[in-house]
Structure 1
């Protein structure tokens, strides 16, 4: 995620974060569940309250699965049509009819006489295209007769700007036409003519939103000069500017290009496919525009990779339809002769098909004629998640939580895909070492590059749903390790030829490597990459450690390094140091498992030292929270404070204070913001990342704040689930619940799926504790949820967990696979007056039964040594 994006990975790269995976976080004591004193003194179990009437069973969760049933995905509705279109609903492939789009051949546009000149008050500097051809953006482009060139002002919102056109001799004008780009439409402008040695206003345009804007004058005017003053512009992610392609010396009304918009029902990813029945003989063109949301659906796609690589497609994918018809699959490249470009793979929900062509694509494609279409569908390329492929699942009494869990699973399926040169981020991300391998990309539509920070969330989501695809994480982790620098630094992704300088992501490689081994038990990976672990922790991070014993961004030439959001912070940052504590603890666990005792002891000791230094130098007693940074303005961040809680840096008092501070300062209707004020950048206190919210949600569960954890989930994921495009989880949420980077925002981003591991590991309560699930624990946090059940895939077979919670009892049922053994933490607010039964046998009644491993652990009862087979544990209370 980022504050802003450009096409340059050096100046404004793709940005990511690292989160502490739930399985690797240090567990804090969790509050007990309220169990009413309702049973007689004989300690007979009380009658359980009836469970809610919600469908349950081994297949009830199937109805929440969002993936398509096959790789051929069809749209579910036609949402709009414009111009001369017949039978638009036939695009859905029903009834055997065809959709017909017709557009008459346009007349030649009017031209200025030879010798006409143009000048402007400002012009954007020229540059070279990807092919090395010089490009200019000055005023003369507005009168050169070429609609593919344009005048681009360069005042970035400091309007008005003027464009003055001068003809060799006076002529009579009845009006003008302003032709612009869809991403630079002048929304307001005045038109003046030179008369009687003075400028005279002849037209004023307001609220313009069309590319071809005809401006008739009240009466014809003789003049030799026309001045257009731009007063209103679109605000785009790249700034506020206009792009005027042509000004014609007459008012020409546009003939509406016929178009049809179809809706696929949710975000999908793959190669669109259109079956053309026939076309007129002039090679009529079609232009495809894609969007994840209706809000950003225009005649231009909300995002195209070609824009980042030089803009060959001008924001749409093009095709020229042969007269005999054909089945066309959208693949990257030009149709022929360097013309008619398509981007290939897209992530989108809405698709607009328009009979039109770029002027530069003539004569290969023409913007007029007749096109007849049989149907539209998509060749789905990502992981195909059907009920039959889920090796882990979740279900509970709260329908909304179920939707969020499976929405996260589907979001993650969309980014689990093969690394292919034609559809990865064009900013230097392609790598021969990844080509053809299954990976976890960051987003479905962009950036489509595997970032290790994203894996901190998306990889556990994968392991808990489709662990048969765990190679998607291993392939990325191993590849990044193979590109480790000589000084120990590990790249965040393949982008920019593995050189994008991020400060925090080498730590993400450490935590994600531990997660991979924890969930899979893959010893060969751990053995092979232990030297990488040593090098990054013992060489690179010590080189950026200051005299106080904290990481400090700016040392060793890291002042220009970024982080997950390329935030402008330096010095001692709580997030970096709390994440370092996590990485050291994870590395120590991994080394201990491999038998590298000295490494384990060294890293564990350093972790304790850094934890003490964080508390000594970064705790802000006046706010009751950890500082974002010890340098610059005082602020407190969501990324650092929860990590200090989950990683055991904060004691119980500081943990409570920090979470209280976030509650008081960052709570929004659409989640919790990632900063408590705007000193870092404007509206930072309004921006929500589901991504950095994940460790906060975990921290709330683990400190006994289950109600606030569920509330934060319901606000954050409820907002995304209830707003277009629905189902999938957004890269970021902006002020008021908006798309935080407009059309550029990825609406299906794997790093935002933390609700899935949070619900499985914290609400259901089950998680691995040793590599390959040889050890596990179950520690439920039910809150207001009446029951939950689920299955966790392990290398030894599924671990099944089911519990019911009422006001007077708690029942937990386990199905434990062979080769594993675990511990259960049962709620017991008053252990001295609690009865625990294992099946029909009492194992605790105010004290442990003989020979049973049950003991008090805070406000829970710890039951150890649960081996393979079925276990049913019931908790009730009796009167004092």
Structure 2
């Protein structure tokens, strides 16, 4: 089992040199002799799934699905002649020719090779009819072959604004022309209609006409198809658009990371009235803006809960925050007077969900941390206050201080899965704690909101304590879900138990208990189910949401010793989706035996299911922001069974690049990091125990017991924190007094200290801001840490020793 040793790299190191610090432990020979530091060649572009350009052609015609009179079925692919579908009028029933041949509509099925989204165009080479009307072509779209029928697995008309029966219809003209799938009808505003944009992999094309489309189309005649293509309207994530990437020793993890990015790219598109959810979701305040839809096929409305995952995927791959910002800002602008934030534009911003206002707060924090968007948080800070201080207190039980579904307006509210639960639901409350914590951080970073930060932090602790007192089931070692009458329901949900760990509601012991229970009770061949039994509804114990599974996976990474269980869950979940039709893209939900959880209706390219991207970047590569826009960041690789990883994380001022490699047989770990000037990073290397040596820039910084020359050490809880002074001295070389203090400080031999020499903070700030450096120091502070408070006698001994040491340095 690997434990982290911390290497603290202050902003001044990166500020001055954009250094590539390295750390390794332990080694019996010089780091230069180790092959671990030899970085692998970048080879990530081969995993990218995006089409190279917006015009996409089918890759094959599936011959086993060809029916009826079809000549040259591959012509539309090869360009060597047209594919011709011919359907003759069947003989009358009194024919003397014997049994007439069956009247089979000529049919082909084309495969675009992977899920895509956009508008289809067909180049027709001409047509002629055999009965009155133009020859009719019908199109059915599907993400899988399983649900490919004469109608689409899902079409916009299925959700309202119904103009088609689930297939798109074409009245093919006699002369060559190009038809483009546009929402609307060709005749009388009601006949020969198409739904426009589709998300799919497979398309069935057959010569047929709807009776309702008479007299404009006929089922009989001949149609020549010269070619077809799709205009890919979603984000075109070609390799040159990647500002962040990931690669590791595990080829499958690598591919699934890029599959997640492509899935999310398919959901990143322009909000247009006729290609979004028709259930009163059209919004003039979103029209024409780039957004992150929930799914490429459906519902095509941007939901804020989905952004809790899909936004992270966007930030970490293409650094494209505008789609998320547009959604978050729009929902904030539609906040209700009581503080409630709508989940999406659907139903004219009125769909009643109880958890999504909390996700709006969490997602606002993520936008701030990953992109440094101060304008957004300053603008919408009052909305955050209103969510947390008006709406949720209105549905809080005054006795338990827990959010209680059923109080106030909340009785008929749903959540991300419209679950029939009630009472003090653990998921709502631990998410409430997380939102309060995130909001307190925003308040602190902005400054001037210390009262808000203190109030929210205190409330988070109260709610956390109450969850542990009222909602923990000691019989299984996990949190109850909600109430059944006046008692807790004997059912345990993945959502609340997972987020209890991320929010810190569960301490280390409880976290291990919760995650152990989920492994035992919820593990399925295709992921971990979101309930341990079917008490609330049949099938819940077999249903898997990759959305909620992300939080469990993240919790496993963040709980010491469980990284390999996180990777094992990833491999079951993402391996299942990758191995089953349509492949590549990641599904909205999975049901019994690994089936699509809502059948044909299931979205198989859903942004909320792309949690593998932040899971691997934040944990395996190990990079997370701890200050707005990565002005402060952590690099803490959690390898599990991965041997090496490398990648780039985009920030507003340039990339953070990380490469690490390990040799478990010899107990070696090598880490290299580079970051933009002005950023402060805390870097951790995993070692077997705190006594092994750690090297920095190929120099030993910690010999397993004490710091070596040029390093100051903070030792605590078995994690040595090592601060390299050499670069700081170079950066502040104009300050001779400060250098004298740094030279003398290690002689104090304090186990746990930081040195704050006079106006050191102002000196660093001046450097960052490009101002002249400070020229003198009047005093110094010595800040030290211990498991318990020092007695005044011990403190006085430190003071006297430091006075003696610095007597000749010209400072107090």
Do structure 1's residue 685 and structure 2's residue 546 form an aligned pair? no
Asked if the contact 1:51/1:787 (under 8 Å) is kept, the reply is no
Tell me the distance in 2 between the aligned counterparts of 1:672 and 1:866.
47
Specify the alignment match of 2:482 in structure 1: 629
Give the superposition deviation at 1:860.
4.8
Q: 1:864 to 1:482 in 2, by over 3 A?
A: farther
Give the superposition deviation at 1:49.
7.0
Specify the alignment match of 1:388 in structure 2: 240
Specify the alignment match of 1:828 in structure 2: 687
Do structure 1's residue 793 and structure 2's residue 636 form an aligned pair? no
Tell me the distance in 2 between the aligned counterparts of 1:709 and 1:862.
27
Give the superposition deviation at 1:445.
0.2
Q: Specify which of 649, 674, 677 is matched with residue 815 of structure 1.
A: 674
Do structure 1's residue 520 and structure 2's residue 520 form an aligned pair? no
Question: Counterparts in 2 of 1:213-612, with a 5 A limit?
Answer: 255-281=103-129, 282-337=133-188, 338-467=190-319, 469-546=320-397, 547-595=399-447, 596-612=449-465
Q: 1:485 to 1:320 in 2, by over 3 A?
A: same
Asked if the contact 1:395/1:788 (under 8 Å) is kept, the reply is yes
Tell me the distance in 2 between the aligned counterparts of 1:374 and 1:291.
22
Q: 1:744 to 1:655 in 2, by over 3 A?
A: same
Specify the alignment match of 2:468 in structure 1: 615
Q: Specify which of 707, 711, 722 is matched with residue 852 of structure 1.
A: 711
Tell me the distance in 1 between the aligned counterparts of 2:85 and 2:186.
21
Specify the alignment match of 1:205 in structure 2: none
Give the superposition deviation at 1:652.
1.1
Aligned with 2:281: secondary structure? coil
Q: 1:738 to 1:857 in 2, by over 3 A?
A: farther
Asked if the contact 1:824/1:862 (under 8 Å) is kept, the reply is no
Q: 1:263 to 1:863 in 2, by over 3 A?
A: farther
Specify the alignment match of 2:697 in structure 1: 839
Tell me the distance in 1 between the aligned counterparts of 2:140 and 2:491.
42
Asked if the contact 1:77/1:264 (under 8 Å) is kept, the reply is yes
Q: 1:836 to 1:691 in 2, by over 3 A?
A: same
Q: 1:550 to 1:865 in 2, by over 3 A?
A: farther
Aligned with 1:280: secondary structure? strand
Give the superposition deviation at 1:819.
2.1
Asked if the contact 1:818/1:868 (under 8 Å) is kept, the reply is no
Give the superposition deviation at 1:802.
0.6
Spell out, residue by residue over 1:411-444, the C-alpha distance to the aligned partner (whole angstroms, 9 max, x if none).
0000000000011001111101000000000000
Aligned with 2:66: secondary structure? strand
Q: 1:276 to 1:796 in 2, by over 3 A?
A: same
Give the superposition deviation at 1:95.
3.8
Tell me the distance in 2 between the aligned counterparts of 1:432 and 1:864.
53
Spell out, residue by residue over 1:272-309, the C-alpha distance to the aligned partner (whole angstroms, 9 max, x if none).
11000100054101001000001111111000111221
Q: 1:530 to 1:107 in 2, by over 3 A?
A: farther
Q: 1:816 to 1:828 in 2, by over 3 A?
A: same
Specify the alignment match of 1:213 in structure 2: none
Asked if the contact 2:621/2:658 (under 8 Å) is kept, the reply is yes
Tell me the distance in 2 between the aligned counterparts of 1:770 and 1:108.
78
Q: 1:510 to 1:699 in 2, by over 3 A?
A: same
Q: Give the length in aligned residue pairs.
A: 692
- In structure 2, runs of 5+ residues without a counterpart are 6-22, 729-812
Q: Quick check: 858-867 or 533-542, which moved more?
A: 858-867
Give the superposition deviation at 1:46.
9.9
Spell out, residue by residue over 1:530-570, the C-alpha distance to the aligned partner (whole angstroms, 9 max, x if none).
11011111000000000211000010031110000000000
Give the superposition deviation at 1:453.
0.2
Specify the alignment match of 2:87 in structure 1: 103
Specify the alignment match of 2:71 in structure 1: 86
Tell me the distance in 2 between the aligned counterparts of 1:50 and 1:431.
54
Give the superposition deviation at 1:647.
0.9
Q: 1:71 to 1:412 in 2, by over 3 A?
A: same
Give the superposition deviation at 1:48.
4.4
Tell me the distance in 2 between the aligned counterparts of 1:314 and 1:397.
49
Tell me the distance in 2 between the aligned counterparts of 1:477 and 1:665.
36
Specify the alignment match of 1:747 in structure 2: 604
Tell me the distance in 2 between the aligned counterparts of 1:302 and 1:504.
30
Asked if the contact 2:436/2:459 (under 8 Å) is kept, the reply is yes
Tell me the distance in 2 between the aligned counterparts of 1:708 and 1:487.
42
Tell me the distance in 1 between the aligned counterparts of 2:72 and 2:727.
61
- In structure 1, runs of 5+ residues without a counterpart are 1-28, 111-250, 870-880
Asked if the contact 1:818/1:867 (under 8 Å) is kept, the reply is no
Tell me the distance in 2 between the aligned counterparts of 1:842 and 1:865.
11
Kindly report the root-mean-square deviation, in angstroms, between the aligned alpha carbons of the 2 structures: 2.3
